[in-house]
Structure 1
C-alpha cells in the first residue's frame, strides 16, 4: 500500500513531519509517516520526501504522534506516556515497535510500547489513519509502528560504512541523549550496531519542580541481514535497561525495566507470490517501589515493592499474490504472553501478595485482505478472525498479610479462571481521486478488542488500571465481553500549488466498552470484602471493570497555505466527543478540542518556525467517574534548523516560550509528596525549555 507524507512545513504545526501531502492518483492516502531522521525512504511507498526539521524535544516518542490531527498524549511520566487517538488509548491502539507486538511488563502500563522507542533510534513512525488494517491485528483505533533506523543493503559487492547519530540536550530536567546506528553493508550482507543512552533530572514548571520526574534509559543491540536473489533474511537483537525513573501520577516509581527483544524475519518472492514471515520474543523484568524517588513511608509496614514479569512469543506470516483483478493477501499471526505480579514489603519477607500469578493470554488469528479497484474506487477490503484464551493461576498471600485479602484470595481461587473468546474484524478502506487535486476517503469497519489481563483477573483492589493513573482502585471482572466498535469515516485530501487540507469526519459506536464503574449499587457504603480492603488502602469507593456502551465522534484535519516562496502557514485541528450510550454521561478522559498553528520561514540552508498551540477547556467530563474539569491554555513555541554541511545538521527550539503554567486534561494526578506540585493535583506541563540537537549521517 502506498503511503502519504505530510508537508515539511508542518514542522511548525506538526514539527516532526517531513513532507507536504503529495496525493498521487494511484496512492492510498491512509497512512501518515512521521520521519524522524530525514533519510530517504522507499520511493514506492511515498509520493515525495522533503527533508524536514524535527524540533528538539524530550525523550517521549508519544509527543511526536500527538502532533498529528486526532492524536494527543496521555502524560504518565517522561518515559511512560501513552497516545490517545480520536478518544481511544492504551490497548485499543495497535502499537508496534519495529513491527513487533509484545506485552507490557507493568500492570499499570508504566512501560507502554513507546517506552521502548527512544527518539534517537527511530527512523520513522507510521500511523494508520482512521483504523488499522486487518493485517496488523485487532484493535479499535488506528495502528502505530515505530520503525528503527537500519543500515540497508548496498548496491555493489563493495563494503560501505554507514552511520546515523544524534546528540541532544534539553534544559527541562537537564536531560541529554546520544544514540543512533552504525554498520557496514554490501549488496548481500548488512551488519549494524545500535544504541542510545538518555538521562535527566526532575523537570521544572513555572511553580517549581515536579518531584520524581527524573529518568534513565539505556538501549543497545545488533542486527544483520542476508540477501540472496529474491530472498532476504534478518535477525535483530536488542536489550533495554530503564533505570530509576519517576512516575508521579502512580503510587510507585520505576526501579528498573530490564527487557530483551529478539526477532527473525524473512521475505521473498516465489514465482510471483510475495511471502513474509517472522518470529519474535520479548522478555520484561520490572520492579517498582514507593520509596526510592519519593519520600519513604513513615512506617516500615507501608513500604512496597512490586515485582512483575512478562514474556511474549509472537509470530506470523503472509503471502501476497494477484487475484480477482487486484492483490490478495492471506496470512496468520498469533502471540502468547505470560504475566506474573507480586506485591512485597522489603522490610518483611512474609508480606507478599501474588496478585496476578501465572497469567497466560493467547491469541491466534487469520486474515484475508484484498486491494484493488471496485466501482471506480481504490479499495482495501479485509476480514480477520481471532481466537483468544485467557487463564490465571491460583493467587496466594504471605502470612504477614491481613486476613481480609486472604478471603479475597479464596473467593478468586474458587472461580473458573479460564476464559475463551472469538472476535471478528472487517475493514473496508476506500479512496477515489476526484481530480488532480482532490481525493475522497471512506472507511467502514467492525473492529474488536479482547479484555486485558488486569481487566479480567485483578481480584485485589489496587491502582493497577492499565495506565489511567487517576488514583482510583480497580478490580477485574471475569465476565467481560470483548469490545466491538462499528466505525464510519469520511474525508478528503485536497492540495493545490500553494495550499492543502485533509479533513476527516468520524463516528465510532462501541458495544461492550470496558470502563471502571462503581463496585456495587451503594458506593461509599463499605459492606463487601472488596470495599473493606479498598478502604484499608485509602479508597472507600473502588471501581470494577464493566462492559458499558459508548460512542465517539468528531472532526480532525491538517491544513496549510504557502504565503510566498519563503513563508508558509500550517496547522492541525482536533475535536472529539465521547459519550456513554448506556447512561447519560460523558466518556471518561477524552481530550479537549485543540488547534495548532505555525508560521515558517524557509531558506536554502535554514528554517525557523513560530508555533502556537491552543487547547480548549474540557468541561464535558464523566460524572460517574468524578472526573475534574480543566481550563484551556495557549502555548507558544519557537524552532529552527540549520544544515551545516552535507550530513550534518543542527536544530534548536524553545518550548513554552512564555513559561506558561498549564495542565493537560489527560495528565495524571500527583502522588509524590516530595514535589512542588500538591498531592492530588493534576500534574502540570513542562515550563520553558531550550533544546538542541546535532545529527550526523553518512
Structure 2
C-alpha cells in the first residue's frame, strides 16, 4: 500500500499564513468570501443552488455524493473512501434523479459500486441545483425524493478571447486532486475542454486503524459550440473517464470505471411572442465497469472478476411558451433506452481471471424503455402570488433477459403507464420573504437492482412481482431575509403506497406501505461586517406501516453550526457537525446498495473542523483546513458493514469508521 505523504501533518496552515501583507498595506481587488460549510439557504421554494467551485469544508469533494452531503437534507451511504450513495430526506437510489448536463446515467454494478455520482467531479461543473420533493415534472420519471442537476454554463462570448480555471488540492492520506478547464472562442462559437484527476491512499480512522479505501479517478470533457446570435446555441460535447477504487465493505474492489458520453444540444430563445424558448438534447452514455478481488487487495485461493456494462441513450425536447405575460407554460417529452449486460471470469491467477472475463461472451440480463410527456405551468396570480403546477405521463417497459436457469420470469416483460403531478402555491410577504405549500404525486417504476432480487413468494425473481412505488407528499415552508438575518424552513409529510423495500438477509424485494416526514431549518446571521454565524438542522422520520416498525436506512437528526470570518483578502471559519444517536432501525432491510441494510443502533457524535483562506489577488485563491480536529473515531449510521481484508482492521458486522484528523490545502486559479 502507498505510504502517507509526510508533509501534510502541519504545513497547510503555514503555507496559508506565510507572506501575508502587513496590515497597513492596501487591500486586494476582491474581497474573499468565507469557505462554504453548509449550503446557502433556499433561493426559491424547494430549490438550492450552489457553486461547486467555491471552497468548502469538510475537505473539498472528489465525487458527487461527497459534495451533496454538505447540503442540509442529504446523507451518504458510506462504504469507505469514495463512491457513496447519496440520500435525500431518507430516499436513495432511483428515487433521487441525478442529471449530468441534462442527461440521466446509471451505474453498471449490481452492488452499486458506481452510483451516478461516482462519475461526477463536482468542481468541473459550473452550477449544482437541487429540487426537493416531487415538485417538478420536467426532469424525468418517478423522482419522488427530488432531482440534482450538475450543469455547465457556456454563455456567448462578446469578443474573441479565452478563459481558464484550475485547482490543486493536497491533503493527508495521499490526497492529490487536479482540475483544469479552458474555453476559447468568440461571438460565433467556442471550444471548451477540461480534465480532472483525483487520488488518495488508504485513510486511517481516529484510532490509527487503516481502512481499505484508496482510489484513483480521472475524467475529461470537451465541447464545440456554435453561437450565431445571442439567442441560439448548438453544442456537440463528449466525455471520457475511468479509475479504480478500493472498498472496505465487500470482497471485491472496483478495477475499472470507464464512462463514455456523447451529447448534442440545441437551444433557441425568443422565437416569437408566444414561444419564449425551445431546447432539445440527444445523448449516449456507456459505462464499462470491472470489479475483482486481486487488483487492489491480496486474494484468497480463487481469483475472481466481474464485468457489467450499461448503455443508456435518450433524448429530451421542451418548449417554453408565454401565452400571456402572467403565464409561463413548459411543454415537452423525454425518452430513454437502457441495456444492462454482464460477463465474468475466475481462475487460480490474476491473468486467468482477467482472460476469463475478457474472453467470455456478454450476457444481456435486463432492458428498459421509457417514454414520457410533461407540462409544467407557472401562473402569476399577482405581483406576490404564484401557482405552479405540472403533470406527466410515462410509458415504461422492462424485459427480463436472463436465461431460464437464472430467472423464473425469463423472457417476460413488465409494461406500465404511470402518472405524476404536483401543484404548489407561493406567496411573498414583506420585502424579501415567501411561504409556500405544495402537494405532489410521483409513481416510480421499479429499477434494475430491485427487480434482480428474489420474490416474497419464494421465487428467484422479483422482476414481475415488484409493484411501482407511489408517493404522495405535502411540502410546505418559508424563507425570510431581513438586513443581517436570513432563515428558511421546509417540512414534508408523505404517504407511500407499495414502497419498495429490500430484505438483504432473505435476498428478496417486497412492497410495503410507509409514512415519511421531516424537514430542514437553516439560518445565517451577519452579526458584524466581518463575522457570520450559520446553522442548519435536518430531520427525517420514516415508518413501515405494513410491518409496524421503523422504515429502514433513515438518517439521524443532524445539526451543523458554523462561524465564518471574512475581511478583505482573509477568511477563517469553523464547522461543528453534530449527529444524534439513531435507535430506529429495521435489521436486515434497506435499499439497493449491496447489503446496504440496517445493522442496529448508532450513538451520536460531534466533529469539529477549521479552515482559513487568503486571496492575494483576483486570480489566485488559497484555502486550507483541518477536518476532525480532535481526531475522533466515529462511523455514520448510513454506513455499510465492513469485510475482512488482509492488512486492514476488520469492520465485519459493524460500520466502517470515517477518517481521523485530515489536513488539506487547496489552490485555485481563475484567468479570463
Q: TM-score, normalised by structure 2?
A: 0.87
SS at match of 1:618: coil
Matches within 5 A, 1:169-318: 169-171=170-172, 173-229=173-229, 230-242=231-243, 244-269=244-269, 270-272=271-273, 273=275, 274-297=277-300, 299-300=301-302, 303-318=303-318
2:660 corresponds to 1:696: no
Measure, in 1, the Cα distance between the counterparts of 2:50 and 2:339.
33
Partner of 2:338: 337
SS at match of 1:663: coil
Deviations 1:20-56 (A, max 9, x none): 66x7xxxx43321120225xxxxxxxxxxxxx76664
Q: 2:425 aligns with which of 426, 430, 454?
A: 430
2:654 corresponds to 1:638: no
Partner of 1:605: 569
Shift of 1:355: 11
SS at match of 2:67: helix
Shift of 1:337: 0.7
Q: TM-score, normalised by structure 1?
A: 0.84
Measure, in 1, the Cα distance between the counterparts of 2:259 and 2:588.
38
Partner of 1:29: 45
Task: Tell me: CA distance 1:132–1:194, structure 2 relative to 1, closer, same or farther (3 Å).
Answer: farther
Shift of 1:9: 7.7
SS at match of 1:144: strand
Task: Tell me: CA distance 1:414–1:504, structure 2 relative to 1, closer, same or farther (3 Å).
Answer: closer
Measure, in 1, the Cα distance between the counterparts of 2:566 and 2:445.
48
Matches within 5 A, 1:557-572: 557-572=521-536
2:378 corresponds to 1:393: no
Partner of 1:421: 416
2:617 corresponds to 1:614: no
Task: Tell me: CA distance 1:122–1:346, structure 2 relative to 1, closer, same or farther (3 Å).
Answer: farther
Contact 1:97 1:114 in 2 (8 A): no
Measure, in 2, the Cα distance between the counterparts of 1:621 and 1:166.
41
Contact 2:107 2:114 in 1 (8 A): yes
Shift of 1:562: 2.0
Partner of 1:439: 434
Partner of 2:405: 410
Partner of 2:465: 479
Partner of 1:590: 554
SS at match of 2:449: helix
Q: 2:515 aligns with which of 531, 551, 557?
A: 551
Deviations 1:329-351 (A, max 9, x none): 11000100100123431447899
Measure, in 2, the Cα distance between the counterparts of 1:257 and 1:34.
27
Partner of 1:656: 628
Partner of 1:528: none
Deviations 1:487-543 (A, max 9, x none): 00110001111211111111111111111248xxxxxxxxxxxxxxxxxxxxxx422
Measure, in 1, the Cα distance between the counterparts of 2:362 and 2:500.
21
Measure, in 1, the Cα distance between the counterparts of 2:381 and 2:103.
32
Shift of 1:100: 1.2
Measure, in 2, the Cα distance between the counterparts of 1:354 and 1:546.
32
Contact 1:53 1:641 in 2 (8 A): no
2:104 corresponds to 1:111: no
Measure, in 2, the Cα distance between the counterparts of 1:106 and 1:245.
13
Contact 2:599 2:654 in 1 (8 A): no
Deviations 1:357-406 (A, max 9, x none): 342111110001111124863122100000110112242xxxxxxxxxxx
Partner of 1:361: 368
Task: Tell me: CA distance 1:597–1:9, structure 2 relative to 1, closer, same or farther (3 Å).
Answer: farther
SS at match of 1:622: coil
Deviations 1:202-245 (A, max 9, x none): 11112234443110111122111101233210111110011x31
Contact 2:462 2:509 in 1 (8 A): yes
2:140 corresponds to 1:154: no
Task: Tell me: CA distance 1:437–1:255, structure 2 relative to 1, closer, same or farther (3 Å).
Answer: same
Contact 2:454 2:507 in 1 (8 A): no
Partner of 2:494: 508
Matches within 5 A, 1:57-96: 57-96=60-99
SS at match of 2:94: helix
SS at match of 1:455: helix
Measure, in 2, the Cα distance between the counterparts of 1:623 and 1:196.
40
Measure, in 1, the Cα distance between the counterparts of 2:88 and 2:216.
27
Partner of 2:660: 687
Measure, in 1, the Cα distance between the counterparts of 2:409 and 2:473.
39
- Point out where structure 2 has 5 or more consecutive residues left out of the alignment: 1-31, 590-597
2:640 corresponds to 1:668: yes
Q: 1:99 aligns with which of 102, 115, 121?
A: 102
Contact 2:400 2:411 in 1 (8 A): no
Measure, in 2, the Cα distance between the counterparts of 1:362 and 1:77.
34
Task: Tell me: CA distance 1:295–1:597, structure 2 relative to 1, closer, same or farther (3 Å).
Answer: same
Contact 1:194 1:220 in 2 (8 A): yes
Partner of 1:124: 127
SS at match of 1:547: strand
Contact 1:249 1:670 in 2 (8 A): yes
Shift of 1:621: 0.9
Q: Please tell me the root mean square deviation across aligned C-alpha atoms, in Å.
A: 2.5
Measure, in 1, the Cα distance between the counterparts of 2:126 and 2:76.
20
Contact 2:578 2:605 in 1 (8 A): yes
Measure, in 2, the Cα distance between the counterparts of 1:505 and 1:31.
13
Task: Tell me: CA distance 1:429–1:500, structure 2 relative to 1, closer, same or farther (3 Å).
Answer: same
Measure, in 2, the Cα distance between the counterparts of 1:379 and 1:414.
45
Contact 2:34 2:573 in 1 (8 A): no
Contact 1:386 1:424 in 2 (8 A): yes
Shift of 1:458: 4.2
Contact 2:41 2:488 in 1 (8 A): no
SS at match of 1:644: coil
Measure, in 2, the Cα distance between the counterparts of 1:503 and 1:414.
47
Contact 1:189 1:226 in 2 (8 A): yes
Task: Tell me: CA distance 1:429–1:77, structure 2 relative to 1, closer, same or farther (3 Å).
Answer: farther
SS at match of 1:454: helix
Contact 2:260 2:287 in 1 (8 A): yes
Give the stretch that moved more between structures: 325-334 or 559-568. 559-568
SS at match of 1:134: coil
Measure, in 1, the Cα distance between the counterparts of 2:398 and 2:361.
18
Partner of 1:142: 146
Measure, in 1, the Cα distance between the counterparts of 2:211 and 2:327.
57
Shift of 1:623: 4.2
SS at match of 1:645: coil
Shift of 1:475: 6.0
State the number of aligned residues.
616
